[in-house]
Amino acid sequence: MVVFSSPQWLFLLPVLLICGWFWKGLRLWRPLRGACLLVLVLVLADPRINRTERGMDLWVLVDRSQSAGSLVERSFREWEQLLRRSMPSRSDRIRWVNFSGEAVELTGPETGTVAGAANHTRTRLAIETTLASLDPDRHARMLVFTDGYATEPLGDVGLKLQGAGVPLDFRLVAPPEATDYQILDLRLPSRKRPGEPFIVEIEVRGNRDGTVPVLISRDGGEEREETVEIKGGTGSLRFAARLVEPGAHRYEARLSVEDAYSGNNRFEGWVEIVSGPRVLLVTRYQDDPLQRILSAQGFTVEKIMEPAGLHAGQLTGAKVLILNNVPAHEIPSDFLASIDFFVRRQGGGLLMAGGTRSFGAGGYFESSIDPLLPVSMELKAEHRKLAVAMAIVMDRSGSMSATVAGGRSKMDLANEGAARAVELLGDFDFVTVHAVDSSPHREVPLTVVGPNRGSIVNRVRRIGSTGGGIFVYEGLKAGWEDLKKAEVGQRHLILFSDAADSEEPGDYKRLVGEMVSEGASVSVIGLGTEKDVDAALLKDIAKLGKGRMFFTDDATTVPNIFAQETVAVARSMFIKEAVGLVPSGRWLEISRDSLAWLSRVDGYNLSYARPQTSVMALTTDEYKAPLVACVQRGLGRTAAVCFPLGGEFSAATRAWPQMADFAQTLTRWLMGEMLPPGLGLRTRLDGTELSIDLLHDDTWFQRLAVPPRVFLADGAKTGEGSVREVAWERLEPGHFRAKSSLEHGVLTRGAVQVGDLAIPFGPVVVGGSPEWTFDRSRVEELRQVAAQSGGQERINLADVWQQPETKEFASIQPWLLGAALLLILAEALATRLGWNRISFGRGARGEKASPRSAPSGAYRSAIPARESAPPAGAPAPAPGKGPAPAQAAAAAGDPAEVDRRRSRFDRAKRLR
């Protein structure tokens, strides 16, 4: 089928015919010229051909999310057979797409296959993915099987479907009627000042009236119970609150009821208490000198004495984090992981102060904040003075065979951790390794590491899980039997065990007490959380053994924990002797005024300066080690003060007259530059979709010639590889917008980078599960999109094939232009070579040859007048009278005359 985009140009064809009839000098009857004009007229009319093949692709999008997957599964085979039976033509095809958190095209109607996270229903993503996969040469239509409760807005997908000419039909699946209550919303103000009252409102919805108990907690603390009266399907609870602690605080509401869907019985939200830029001081000192000094200098200081309760929300609004002699194992791993994004992307500052429980001695080696610090904590082999004997007792029970992220088993990661510990031990250290299930198995007897390091590592990496549980007492006993044979300065045992499956503790208290009395120590790495059934046992072993206790529910972090513990025991050193201090002169890089440094410090953590680090003070001993060092990390800054600022070994420091100037100058440098006015940031959460709006005034136009950047960090992810960047869209002058999909229940923090400045925001969290919210507005939105595209809800699935097919046309104008060019060139060539001078059926000047000029059957031709002149000597005819009668007769019937004229014509033709 051919259609014309501009058919009005076809009226030129009769015009050209008329011109050729009346103005014969145009010679439009010549074949090349006439064809060229015809093609040019067609070019103007722009003909288009239908390139769509016969038949239609029916794209069937199947919702495999948690809320709809089981409902779809019940009728899926019946729907599939109905669609195939009603298919009108063999040229029609069915294409299958499963979707939930992602959208995946399948080769066939595979049932139960989940695409991505099942706690999402990303209908818009599924439609957009399908649009990108369409065959442009075939008709297409979409049919969606879903419950209609998408977890993200459909947005402009209706316009995209309409533009592509693809109708969207849908078939809704409904769950069976059952009693269900849900927390629809937990409303909190986004920001409040310290002590300012605010209202907390909880909205509850249910399909039956009654009284529903609600449990409410703040920052994971004790829950209090309230009740909500459901009338007419809805109810609400309101109460007043007041907070004085700055930072972000988390409220959680939970229904204490048995109903059909537990996934919608919980909701959380965050409120930020804003107090201006502040310093977050994590310390174990009751009277920390830094708090007193910085508060006197006008800083807002929040002191944290219980580091186990730290969470990423407390970094909100903070400009500097100070870790003052607090060991890594006392700080939650999630909080440690959040510090990297706080510094590099949110422009925060980090200060680590020295002490016997800080730097490498505090277990920070290979922790998530190790790369941020300006100093390296691993003790060089030539600086070690005491040998260490280490026993590693490992759980190889059946639970260790489970596979975790990355395809490796828990046992593989535990083996990797033990091997890493062996690699970090010195040549003169000793090690023994035992794998334990219901009995201990000596994998490596007590051996000096140096000449045997390679073979020990290879043996450790091959330990396998054999089943059963771990008998803790037997493992500790076997490790101690080997360890007490070593005659070295320090003996240490590391117990690695499943916090949910540690059996047969036996008389562990007596055994651990014996070990400590003979100078040994015990640390424990528990795979799980503090809430697991055997966590209390493991914590008591570490406490009695005067060691450290690590919990992790992420098995991939086990190798790093082994490395941290090994360095803390064998490759870190706190110098407990007074040492002189010499300034390097680089203090002026962060201060306008010089500093009168103290002459000595009472002790320090031995470390080594990293590249690009500004070292401001060094020791005068053999190590020439850095005492004060600073460095820029991303948009933030970090500093290391390797001598104690409080507690033991800090007498000289606390007596230093310039201590206040030193602390406040370093803190101000760590805070960085303040953000100039003229910028505003606004965030909004719609389902799982986060919208970020950046607004600016005219003063920022030049600085924003290079667009800003926005970064998001989810949960406890750390490192540049896990931070994701979101693209901006410029809506209008002075207004940028970015959008991103979030995971339910995962705390998300963000930062907008403008040049070398940062605007932090968050935390943001999808408070309730959108998958189980059953928001009716999402179903109505689906109906509107379907109607906009030309589709509808399908009760009878056979009707989906009976709708008119759309056609896609392709222009052939470029091909016609090429043909016209070739015809023009051919016409020019023919004229040049004289092919156009002869025209059959015409006279010498274009007149028609008369049928009476020759008898019937005679050869007729057009001979130029100059070649029909009489022979030499013949009398010329009278002017206007024509040829003589004799000549006319000869021309009419004399065969000789006819042959003569034919010969002359042939000669003339050859000459031409």
Q: Residue 419 is which amino acid?
A: A
Q: What angle do CA 714, 340, 377 make, to 5 degrees?
A: 140
892 pLDDT band (50/70/90 cuts)?
very low
Identity of the residue numbered 443: E
Compute the average pLDDT of residues 133-153: 89
Averaged pLDDT for residues 787-813: 79
pLDDT value of position 525? 93
**Residues 780-798: what's their mean pLDDT?**
92
pTM listed for this prediction: 0.71
Reduce the DSSP state of residue 205 to 3 states and report it.
strand
Question: Interior CA angle at 115 toward 109 and 121, to 5°?
Answer: 105
**pLDDT value of residue 806:** 56
In a 10 Å sphere around its CB, with 0-12 CB exposed, 13-18 middle and 19+ buried, how is residue 15 labelled? exposed
- ∠ CA(369), CA(375), CA(379), 5° rounding? 100
How far is the C-alpha of 357 from the C-alpha of 547, rounded, in Å? 12
Distance CA 325, CA 136 (A): 66
Average pLDDT over residues 169-178: 87
Task: Please give the Cα distance from 441 to 461 (Å, whole number).
Answer: 15
| 883 closest CA partner among 900, 895, 871, 898 | 871
Cα four-point dihedral sign 537, 542, 543, 548: negative
pLDDT at 110: 65
Question: DSSP 3-state assignment of 424?
Answer: helix
Mean pLDDT to the nearest integer, 490-513: 90
What's the DSSP call for residue 214?
E
Q: Are 641 and 352 in contact (CB under 8 A)?
A: yes
Q: In this model, does residue 390 exceed pLDDT 60?
A: yes
Confidence band, pLDDT 50/70/90 cuts, at residue 266: very high
User: What is the pLDDT at residue 459?
Assistant: 94
Which pLDDT belongs to residue 285? Answer: 92
pLDDT, tens only, 502-533? 888 889 999 999 999 998 999 999 998 888 88
Per DSSP, 129 falls in state: H
Write the DSSP string, 488-546.
SSEEEEEEEEETT-EE---SHHHHHHHHHHTTEEEEEEEES-TTSTTHHHHHHHHHHTT
Please report which residue ranges of 213-282 form alpha helices under DSSP H: none
- Residue 150 phi, psi (nearest 5): -70, 150
Check: CB of residue 444 under 8 Å from CB of residue 393. Answer: no
Q: Confidence class of residue 416 from pLDDT cuts 50, 70 and 90?
A: very high
Higher pLDDT, 581 or 869: 581
Between 251 and 813, the more confident residue is 251
Q: What are phi and psi of 394, to 5 degrees?
A: -115, 140
Share of the chain above pLDDT 70, in %: 88
CA 695 to CA 674: how far, in whole Å? 18
Per-residue pLDDT band at 114 (split at 50, 70, 90): low
Q: Helices (DSSP H) in 557-707: which residue ranges?
A: 558-570, 651-654, 659-671
Average pLDDT, rounded, for the chain:
85
Angstrom distance (rounded) from CA 585 to CA 206: 70
Q: Which tokens is 712 given?
A: 């998001």
The 10s digit of each residue's pLDDT in 548-589 is 999 988 888 899 889 888 888 887 788 889 999 999 999 999
Q: Hey, what amino acid is at 20?
A: G
At 907, list the tokens. Answer: 């000669």
CA dist 607 to 489, 624, 641, 835, Å?
22, 10, 11, 96
Considering Cα of 120, then 125, then 130, then 133, what sign does the dihedral take? negative
From residue 570, alpha-carbon distances to 109, 392, 425, 554, 573 in Å are: 59, 14, 7, 25, 8
Calculate helix-pair angle for 472-483, 508-517, nearest 10 degrees: 20
- Which residues does 795 contact at the CB level (< 8 Å), separation at least 6? 171
- Examine the pLDDT at 654 and tell me if it is beyond 80: yes
CA distance 903 to 897: 10
Is the pLDDT assigned to residue 861 strictly greater than 50? no
> What is the C-alpha separation between 564 and 368, in angstroms, rounded?
11
Query: From edge to edge, which strands make up the β-sheet containing 388-395?
Result: 440-448, 430-436, 388-395, 490-498, 520-527, 549-552
Range among 210-224, 658-672, 891-905 rated most confident: 658-672
Stated as kind and residue range, the H or E segment containing 83 is helix 69-85
Q: How far is CA 828 from CA 23, 32, 40, 306, 839, in A?
A: 21, 9, 16, 95, 17
How far is CA 524 from its chain centroid? 35
Beta bridge partners of 617: 583, 628
- Paired tokens of 622: 């053999």
Ranges assigned E (strand) in 101-190: 103-106, 138-146, 168-172, 181-187
pLDDT in tens, 686-717: 888 899 999 999 888 888 888 899 999 987 55
Report d(CA 323, CA 354) in Å as an integer.
Answer: 9
Give all strands of the β-sheet with 689-696 in edge-to-edge order.
679-686, 689-696, 735-741, 729-732
At 780 the pLDDT is 94
| Cα gap 96→113, rounded to integer Å | 11
Cβ-proximal residues to 739 (8 Å cutoff; 6+ apart), any chain: 689, 690, 691, 692, 726, 729
Indicate the Cα dihedral angle 413, 418, 424, 425, nearest 10°.
180
Name 866's Cβ contacts closer than 8 Å, sequence gap at least 6.
none
Band of pLDDT at residue 845, cut at 50, 70 and 90 = very low
Report the half-sphere exposure of 384 (CA within 13 A, side-chain side).
21
pLDDT at residue 880, as a whole number: 44
